[in-house]
Every structure is written in structure tokens, then in C-alpha cells.
Chains A and B, each alone.
Chain A
């Protein structure tokens, strides 16, 4: 893959003495959905948080190796974290809209990054909400507190707020685990829609979800990348015994 959006090269990650990721090599293609699967504690969330350097917030972590996003090693000391996180947005397990109005949730990004004037905010809000399918439902109540929305709407809003800062990689850390099956299906629908313009990396516990939405999948176990390939191949003809055990439910 010459045009990989994210390239992980020999990545080792330590929490204190505990090694959470072991020599991980991975290339994530542009404008596709890549799923990271594996049992709890296998390092999949840790890996995801390496892509926008959210692990920096945790004390006592150590990282070796390289993570290259758009041709730039993001662990290089000269990297501008503000710029990186603007480009690589993250959706969390629990929807976490800010305790502000719906409008202000979307306008927050543009206003902290100063790339749009106040006058442009309504247009950005409309465009972002339309992209996640919330505009028709919410256009008359933009001043309401975002916390009054349903879980699914909150999660969509969290995605919309990343689109507003023109992120182009979306990291999703079990984005549906706090949602019911119907909401989950609708968020998956949205992900398929967003794939056309964005590179999406999703961490999920839910194997069916990985099979439904992703085009490539990586199986992790105890910090090691066991197998990585097209989702269809990985789920129908896994090369490794461990992968087969996990996806068929004999383990994990």
C-alpha cells in the first residue's frame, strides 16, 4: 500500500513496565473503514489513542517506533498537536457532547481553531449537522442543551463536531457500545456514508459490527497484531488459528 493514510512502524507501547503494544506494523488505507478487533485488554484502544496522541495525557507511558500520518511521523518533537488533533478526530465510547447548546457544540471547533469567522458558524453548523443526518430533527432547537438529546443523537453530534473542523481521519472507540441495536444500525449507516470522504478507524468488541461496516480488519491479542487483511477474507478464511478461534466465538 503506497498511499496508506496511517502507517504504523514497529510500534512498542508501555504503561510503566507493562508493554501494551508489541512491535505493531500496520498500514491503514485512505477512505476506507478499518476495524480493530480483539478481546478486552488486547491494546486496541491504546493503538487508536496513539493515532491522535491522546495517550500523552496519561502519565508514565513510553512509546517506541513510528506512527506516520499523511507522510509525517506524529511522534516527531516538532509535530503540532493542535494541528494533528484537528485532522485526526476522535469519537468516544460514551457520547460526550459538551454541556453547551447544540449550536455551540459544533461551533466550538471552528472557534478554537480560528479558521472561520463568527458569521460563518451557522453555515458550518448546518453543513455538519446535515452530514450526520441531524439537521432536519434539530434545526429548530439549535439553542437547546446538547445533553437533552438521545444517546444516538449525542453520538451523531460528536461526529458532526469533528466534521466541523474538517477532520479527515475519524477514530471511533467503540462508538456504539452505549447505544441500543437500532441506534447502532443507524450509526453504522452513517459510517458507511462518511467512508466516501473520510478515513475511519473503528475499535469494536462487536464482531458482527466489524464484519458489517469495515473493509479491512486487524485482530489483536495481548498487544500483538495477529492478523490483518480484508474483512471478508479475515472473517471467512482466517490464516491464523487464533483469529479463527476468536471470530467463531470459541475464545474471547
Chain B
């Protein structure tokens, strides 16, 4: 009896520990990020850091303004969103509402496979195919531009958007569709007037999580956006994102230097952005359920 109880206790403790571990890890990472990142502001003002136009981390004295990097990330993200959201939504509508059974399964597998491609592979393929194409089509001196990054990231955001939105469409009760069809509505009228509005919260969440994926992506953008830390004036100019900056420079910096702290501070900014995006997605997904 006591043996059995002991056994129960150990199992429960293990499960509890595993459950709590993820929270502890997140907290530790967050604390470490804050501790290292906030050190920067002993040397540089917050305003100067966020809105400084020049990122020359190894000049003397270093200039640590990340505005070009923030704008770089925004350009690329914005471009990827503009491409992936309409495509992803249309794709999800086709898979969820229109495609016949077998095609639906094929497409779903395809989308999952797209999600399974490592980003470095996508970046590599983009580098040898997309970049020369962008250069040629738009007649640019280099194909390593924001637009190349946007197109590539759109491919990465698509699976997220499609699979979450398809779940949202699946959750729309059958009765709504039947009721609409039985009234003589066409399939498109039913989708546009009944199905999409009822799935709207899920669709917003899908888009937000897709954007979140794009903001945090590193390898592919580093390979194909040119990495020039200047304020980008158009989609056809090279840009450098926040993620690429951290990845490229962390290995070469002196631990404890201002540069080092600045990279952590960029990490905080990224963390804040993705956190807000995920929060909005979560709110869209769960905030509305209370009403129904």
C-alpha cells in the first residue's frame, strides 16, 4: 500500500515538474534577456536606441540606433503579409470549402510539407532562384532586397495561416451552411456572407500568428535581403532585419560590450513585438467566444 502511494507521488511530482518546467524556462529566458538588454541603457538612451538612424556598432564611439533595423523588419513583414494573407485565405477557403475530398487531402499534405521545409533550405533556394529573378525582372543592381525577403517569408507564413484558418472554417457549424444553401444561396454567397463572418475571429488569429512567424524568422531573411543597415526607402532596396542583425553579429561581439548589450536589447524589442502579436491573436481567438 505505502509502496503504491509512493509510486503515485513520484509520478505526480514528475508530471508536475514537467508542467511547470516550460514556465520556468520562459521566465529564466525572459529575466536573462532583460538583465543583459537593459544594461545597454546605462550607456545609451532608450529614445536614441529606438530612433537612432545609424547602426555602426563597431565604430569608435559606437552608434547604436536601431531604426533602420526596425524599419527593415517592418518592410519585410509588411510585404510578406500583403502577399501571404490573401493567398493564404484563398487557399484555406479552397481547401476547407470547395475542394473535393481527395484534392483536399493532397493540398493539406502539401501545406504541411511546406511548413516542414527548414527555413535555411528555403533561404538557400531563394538565394539561387528568387534573387536573380528579382534582379532581372525589376532591373535592379542587386536582387538581395526587401521584396525578395517578403516573397520568401510569405511562403513561410502561408502554412500557418492556411492551417489555422482551415481549423476555423471547420469549426463553423454545418447547419449554417445548410441553412444558407437551402435558401437558394450559391456556394460563394454562403462562404462570403455566412461562413467567413462566423470564422472571423479564427481568421484574424491565423493572420496574426502568420505575421508573428514572419517577424521572428531569421535565416532566410539573412540570406536574401542584403543586410544593409540603412533606412530602406523602397521594397527594391537591401534591408537588414532585427533578427538578422542579432544572428550575424552575436558571434563577433565582445561579451559585456555596449554592442553585446545592444543585441540583447534588440532581442527585447523583438520579444515585445511577437508577444503583442500573439496576444492579439489569442484575444481574437478566445475573446469572442464568450459572446456565443
Contact = CB atoms under 8 A, between A and B. Distances in A.
B291 A145 contact: yes
B176 interface: yes
B178 interface: yes
B185 A112 contact: yes
B183 A89 contact: yes
Contacts of A31: none
A112 B193 contact: yes
Contacts of B178: 54, 57, 92, 96
A20 to B, nearest CB: 18
Interface in B142-185: 173, 175-176, 178-185
B96 to A, nearest CB: 15
Contacts of B184: 81-86, 109, 112-113, 165
A92 B183 contact: no
Contact of B173 (A54, A90, A96): A96
A112 B184 CA distance: 8
A147 B291 CA distance: 10
A52 B182 contact: yes
A229 to B, nearest CB: 29
B179 A158 contact: yes
Contact residues of B: prevailing secondary structure: helix
Interface in B206-260: none
Contacts, number: 67
B183 A161 contact: yes
Nearest to B185: A112
A124 interface: no
Contact of A98 (B100, B101, B179): B179
Contact of B182 (A54, A83, A100): A54
B186 interface: yes
A195 interface: no
Contacts of B176: 96, 98-99
B280 interface: no
B115 interface: no
B194 interface: yes
Given A59-B101, A108-B193, A147-B292, A96 B183 contact: no
A86 B185 CA distance: 9
Contact of B183 (A94, A99, A100, A112): A112
Contacts of B181: 54, 57, 85
A92 B183 CA distance: 12
Contacts of A99: 176, 194, 197-198, 292
Given A108-B194, A112-B185, A113-B184, 12 more contacts: A54-B178, A81-B184, A82-B186, A83-B184, A89-B183, A92-B182, A94-B175, A99-B176, A99-B194, A99-B292, A145-B291, A161-B183
7 contacts: A59-B100, A81-B184, A82-B185, A92-B178, A98-B180, A99-B197, A112-B193
Interface of A: 52, 54, 57, 59, 81-86, 89-90, 92, 94, 96-100, 108-109, 112-113, 145, 147, 158, 161-162, 165
Interface of B: 100-101, 173, 175-176, 178-186, 189, 193-194, 197-198, 291-292
Shortest 6 CB-CB contacts between residues of A and residues of B? A96-B175, A85-B184, A86-B184, A90-B182, A96-B179, A82-B184
